[in-house]
């Protein structure tokens, strides 16, 4: 990214001059790298300012393309970037089905099929939940949608760094992506729009100079696109190896934590989950208190990272467990590419010690 921050300032839409041409070449390399991570074609990638924008483009763009179809299916634990445009469509008269999840946070493929109707335009189910790490059966959902002539959209933000996605194999028609969830820069995302059968067309939700096939007008953020492309290229080469390493780190941590601390429950699917996600609830322990006690030594999250300034029970945990102590006590640990076994060992000792300390302050525990 650095040359495009320091010395290469061309506009990729102004290819008639050398600076613009070099920027356009860099953008197209980034597009090819993002496409390559999904087994997509470069012309199927549209760059956006975020995964949130890509989700909005997918839902609202499909709705505007098929005004005669007034039904969308999604899931109760989707990211707000999907739920909020769905609610906006409801206010405009669309019918939205919010599928429930089981205690592991997983959608039933049978529920998806049962919810399909003649006027269903789109099904949107995320690949992996951002809070509890549960993987969704997107390949099976995509196959059902394809069979019934319904478009299938998935939010891939959480899975790119540690999972393998193939848009052909997985029956994906639209997919939203984030750079920073795969170690790229913040403020850049992309939307995959299938050009092969079934060919997908969506209406724009922004209007301007016609960049990105007229779907996302505005001067392209060249430096961020370069960063996203590089990050996705690294992820393509390292995701499976990192997944094995992190699954081992998390498995060892989980087993030792449960053995050392009474009343620990793992949230999310026990096996079908992101390799770097650990969501726990601890009986008698308030996660915000843990965060405050450990904030200078350990970063954990008491709920979705997009809403940590709100002191309220996570809607994701409520969908799984109801408004229960388990839902209210959940917190998340997420090791990553640069986390070592020594880091996990230190985190284990810190958490165990602080849980014991908090329980000492609340003698009514137990």
Q: What is the pLDDT of residue 16?
A: 82
To the query of whether residue 75 is one of the catalytic residues in this protein, the response is no
CATH for 2-234 is 3.40.640.10
Q: Provide the percentage of residues in the chain whose pLDDT is more than 70.
A: 96
CATH for 240-361 is 3.90.1150.10
Q: Token pair for residue 53?
A: 């924008």
Q: Residue 316 and residue 327: Cα distance in Å, rounded? A: 9
The DSSP line for 294-355 is HTTT---BSS-GGGTTS-S--HHHHHHH-SSHHHHTEEEE---TT--HHHHHHHHHHHHHHH
Given 51, 75, 145, 306, which residue is catalytic?
306
Q: Residue 342 and residue 321: Cα distance in Å, rounded? A: 33
- Examine the pLDDT at 313 and tell me if it is beyond 80: yes
Q: What is the pLDDT of residue 311?
A: 65
Average pLDDT over residues 58-65: 98
SS3 65: helix
- Model confidence pLDDT, tens digit, residues 6-54: 999 999 998 789 999 999 999 999 999 999 999 999 999 999 999 999 9
Q: What is the pLDDT of residue 364?
A: 59
Q: What is the pLDDT of residue 363?
A: 63
Q: How confident is the model at residue 305 (pLDDT cuts 50, 70, 90)?
A: very low
CA distances (Å), 7 to each of 2, 68, 230, in order?
Answer: 8, 50, 19
Close Cβ partners of 122 (under 8 Å, ≥ 6 residues apart): 58, 59, 62, 63, 72, 73, 150, 151, 152, 153, 174
- HSE-CB for 123 with a 13 A CA cutoff: 31
Q: Dihedral (C-alpha) 154, 157, 159, 164: value to the nearest 10 degrees? A: 60
pTM for this prediction: 0.94
Average pLDDT over residues 136-159: 98
Q: How confident is the model at residue 304 (pLDDT cuts 50, 70, 90)?
A: very low
74 phi and psi angles, rounded to 5 deg = -145, -165
Per-domain boundaries in the chain: 2-234, 240-361
Q: What is the pLDDT of residue 156?
A: 98
Average pLDDT over residues 253-260: 97
Close Cβ partners of 56 (under 8 Å, ≥ 6 residues apart): 81, 85, 205
Q: Provide the percentage of residues in the chain whose pLDDT is more than 90.
A: 90
Close Cβ partners of 169 (under 8 Å, ≥ 6 residues apart): 39, 139
Average pLDDT over residues 133-143: 98
């Amino acid at each position: 990214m650095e040359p495009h921050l320091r010395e290469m300032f061309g506009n990729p839409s102004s290819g008639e001059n050398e600076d613009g041409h070099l920027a356009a070449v860099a953008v197209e390399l980034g597009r090819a790298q993002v496409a390559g991570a999904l087994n997509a074609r470069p012309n199927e990638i549209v760059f956006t300012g975020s995964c949130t924008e890509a989700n909005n483009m997918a839902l609202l763009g499909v709705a505007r393309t098929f005004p005669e179809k007034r039904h969308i299916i999604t899931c109760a634990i989707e990211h707000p970037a999907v739920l909020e445009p769905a609610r906006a469509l409801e206010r405009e008269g669309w019918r939205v089905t919010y599928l429930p999840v089981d205690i592991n946070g997983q959608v039933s493929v049978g529920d998806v099929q049962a919810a399909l109707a003649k006027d269903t335009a789109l099904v949107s189910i995320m690949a992996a939940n951002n809070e509890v790490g549960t993987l969704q059966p997107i390949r099976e959902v995509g196959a059902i949608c394809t069979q019934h002539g319904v478009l299938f959209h998935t939010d891939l933000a959480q899975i790119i760094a540690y999972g393998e996605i193939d848009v052909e194999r997985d029956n994906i028609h639209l997919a939203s992506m984030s750079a920073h969830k795969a170690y790229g820069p913040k403020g850049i995302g992309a939307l995959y729009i299938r050009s092969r059968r079934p060919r997908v067309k969506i209406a724009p939700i922004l209007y301007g100079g016609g960049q990105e096939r007229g779907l996302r007008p505005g001067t392209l953020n060249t430096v961020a696109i370069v960063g996203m492309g590089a990050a996705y290229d690294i992820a393509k080469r390292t995701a499976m190896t990192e997944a094995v390493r992190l699954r081992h780190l998390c498995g060892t941590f989980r087993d030792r934590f449960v053995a050392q601390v009474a009343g620990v429950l793992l949230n999310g699917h026990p096996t079908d989950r992101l390799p770097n996600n650990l969501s726990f609830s601890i009986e008698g322990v308030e996660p915000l208190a843990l965060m405050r006690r450990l904030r200078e030594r350990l970063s954990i999250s008491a709920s979705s990272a997009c809403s940590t300034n709100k002191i309220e029970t996570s809607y994701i945990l409520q969908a799984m467990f109801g408004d229960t102590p388990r839902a209210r006590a959940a917190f998340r640990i997420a090791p990553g590419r640069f986390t070592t076994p020594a880091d996990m060992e230190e985190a284990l000792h810190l958490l165990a010690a602080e849980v014991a300390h908090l329980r000492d302050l609340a003698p009514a525990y137990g």
